[in-house]
Amino acid sequence: MHEMGHAIYDQNNDPKYNGTFLFGSPTYGLHEAQARFYENMIGRSFAFWKRHYPKLEEVFPKQLAGINSLEYYRFINHAKRSKIRTEADELTYPLHIMVRYEIEKELFEDKLKVRDIPKRWRTLMANYVGVRPKDDLEGPLQDIHWALGSFGYFPVYALANAYAVQIYNAMNRDLNVESVIENENIYLINDWLKVKINRFGASKTAEELLIEATGEAFNPKYYIDYLKNKFTMLKNLEELKK
């Protein structure tokens, strides 16, 4: 669903930008925001799984025997310390980004040698996330970004999370997003994103698009409130089960 968010962004670009430098989005942060929107706001929502869980049960009847949609929803949103970024929950995910960002800064400031990355990684994971990788496959080799030369990319994911929530908040003023998801009318979400953001490609700055789509400049408060509200609600669900 994450990668689908990327694909829909590009598909929703105005065709006049095809083959030009204005195709895509003005920043990686805004593109990743849409990917994280589909992954988290839709893919980890109860509305989505309330509707589609029966289909999942058909595919995995043995594995999901005795597990209802609410339990599944709680499971895929369970907050825990993990070693792998792409498997991290929404609450701990930014901590993984911090580890990578600190290492990148130290590399470019000549405070850290490449050969010392694994050791530094283990230290920062212990300090920030509270876990230590057992090997480099659970450590700095788990992501392809540095091997591709994509230094400075990781902070984009943290910014994208906050962008996504601000966009989600604005979208809810025009649509009942949970109802749209539950009733399989996700085309309304696609259309909203196309009209408000996607169709402009990179012809406007990310700041301009965010202001026009949400009515204000970047405001991380929405993201902080979203995390507090969601994980407080999940904690209450856990308490009710007990």
pLDDT tier at 242, thresholds 50, 70, 90 = low
∠ CA(88), CA(62), CA(240), 5° rounding?
55
Domain of 105 in residue numbering reads as 2-241
**What does the pLDDT average to over 18-36?**
97
**CA–CA separation, 197 and 204 (whole Å):** 9
Number of compact structural domains in the chain: 1
Catalytic residue among 3, 71, 184, 212: 3
pLDDT in tens, 127-179: 999 999 999 999 999 999 999 999 999 999 999 999 999 999 999 999 999 99
The burial of 147, by beta-carbon neighbours within 10 Å (0-12 exposed, 13-18 middle, 19 or more buried), is given as exposed
Give the DSSP H/E element, type plus range, for residue 56.
helix 46-59
**What does the pLDDT average to over 27-34?**
97
How many helices (DSSP H) and strands (DSSP E) are in the chain?
11, 0
Q: Decide: 45 and 178 in contact? Cβ < 8 Å.
A: yes
**What does the pLDDT average to over 198-216?**
98
Maximum distance among all alpha carbons in the chain?
Answer: 57
Which of 147, 218, 181 lies closest to 41 in space, CA to CA? Answer: 181
The reported pLDDT for the residue numbered 239 is: 74
- The three-class DSSP label of residue 101 is helix
Active site residue 207: no
Which CATH number covers residue 114?
1.10.1370.30
**What does the pLDDT average to over 6-18?**
97
Q: Decide: 160 and 223 in contact? Cβ < 8 Å.
A: no
| % of the chain residues with pLDDT over 70 | 99
**CA–CA separation, 57 and 142 (whole Å):** 30
Mean pLDDT of the chain, nearest integer: 96
**What does the pLDDT average to over 45-74?**
96
Which of 46, 131, 52 lies closest to 87 in space, CA to CA? Answer: 131
- The three-class DSSP label of residue 133 is coil
Model pTM score: 0.92
